[in-house]
Structure 1
């Protein structure tokens, strides 16, 4: 895929629209996102434009988070503004966490590379109770209230939800956020007892096939940077490293 298809800042915007926080407050060029502490992305600052007064903007951000019982947190990609923000936050005691690689691909290429599925996949416009139960059991963090909040985050934008089954029970799930001609892969989760049987590949194929039918041409996903096995799996499917991001969190 040509790197001219999209910029790092445009990709940041796509990801923000794909995982919409419950509350977004503008602070001098930044977007302060809060969602009751559920998921780091939905409770972090997206530093879109450089503020006029950087120390004041950071102080205002810290107050907004601390007043809601949340640790101040910034999501930093190569497009973060101002460019020195990461260094400034580190000097203020913010800890580094969540280093993530963003990979992109053409939908057609991924579908051409994926082999025929071994399990049937059901694709829906809403997650459903069985989808939500499996995703939360595999990847959820928090109590029932957190799960409800996560459901509200998922409902923040159009998406497709896929389920594959093993012996009649949900075995794997995935979510594909839809933003124009782009689609983002989220919430890939496979039941522990049926891993390495092709369910994740089947989910990805099912989601992208449905997206292609809707005119989607490009796709992205996020993978933890040190998860080399997952990165190789996605690269085999046609995804290529494109950008990165990490978080800076003030824990004390």
Structure 2
């Protein structure tokens, strides 16, 4: 996983654009994101590139999140400046949610998924939309086991996602059994919200879902694909590897809950 720093920064930036926060503040190269605490990705510092010029950057970041009633969270990856992870650890920041970024050629994933589908024939209906309608949101919250209180946050997030974007429903007997979202930015496409109803897993639907998302992305100009996957989610990592995805680099979060107020002079 030896890629150039520019590659890490490019992918981290594209991935951040596909999961836009409700509000954000720039601190030189870094982006302070906030979304009422829903998802770490949308409520963390995207720490890519060099350190901020302000020597008091950590205190000011912690004050930013404390004012919002949120913990201070940093997104740490190979695009982050050297030594940041170790420094945050000395300041009481705990490591959380190790993930891996995987990439692939769109055509390779499409071909591999189609081959797998021929071996695991599954009859489903597909419905695409440019927005997440009420039915899509209902099933999304149910499948992810998220509380109803998060509906507005996710609805707003999906609206903020940049176009072109596609929201996919897989149906069997008029019932939604799987969902997925594809977002295209230049030559890259990212897939999020990829979820299959528990009692329909192990039937090859993952290949159907990934093939559909990939084909849609290629139709919208994406030659390359990326995914962000929780490292401990071995079934997902294995599925993506079978489709041709390769791990490129890792990232994780550093979190601190007991924030102290900024002491002003």
Question: TM-score if structure 1 supplies the norm length?
Answer: 0.93
Structure 1 gap segments, 5+ residues each: none
Question: Shift of the alpha carbon at 1:199?
Answer: 2.2
* Pairs within 5 Å for 1:42-191: 42-48=42-48, 49-54=50-55, 56-81=56-81, 83-114=82-113, 115-116=116-117, 118=122, 119-139=124-144, 141-144=146-149, 146-156=150-160, 157-158=162-163, 159-191=165-197
Q: Is the 8 A contact 2:184 2:220 kept in 1?
A: no
Q: Which residue of 1 aligns with 2:32?
A: 32
Aligned length: 248
In 1, distance between residues paired with 2:255 and 2:109? 35
Matches of 2:78 and 2:68 in 1, distance apart? 28
Q: Is the CA contact 2:125–2:172 (under 8 Å) kept in the aligned structure 1? A: no
1:228 Cα deviation after fit: 2.0
Q: Is the 8 A contact 1:104 1:219 kept in 2?
A: yes
Matched residue, 1:207: 213
**Number of the residue aligned with 2:17:** 17
Higher Cα radius of gyration: 2
Contact 1:182/1:218 (<8 A) preserved: yes
Describe the shift of the 1:122–1:243 C-alpha distance in structure 2 as closer, same or farther (beyond 3 A).
same
Runs of 5+ unmatched residues, structure 2: 259-265
Q: Which runs of 4+ in 1 moved over 3 A?
A: 140-143
Shift of 1:140: 5.0
CA contact (8 A) 2:110 2:215 kept: yes
Using the alignment, how far apart are the partners of 1:134 and 1:10 within structure 2?
32
1: distance between equivalents of 2:68 and 2:53? Answer: 25
Scaled by the length of structure 2, the TM-score of the pair is 0.88
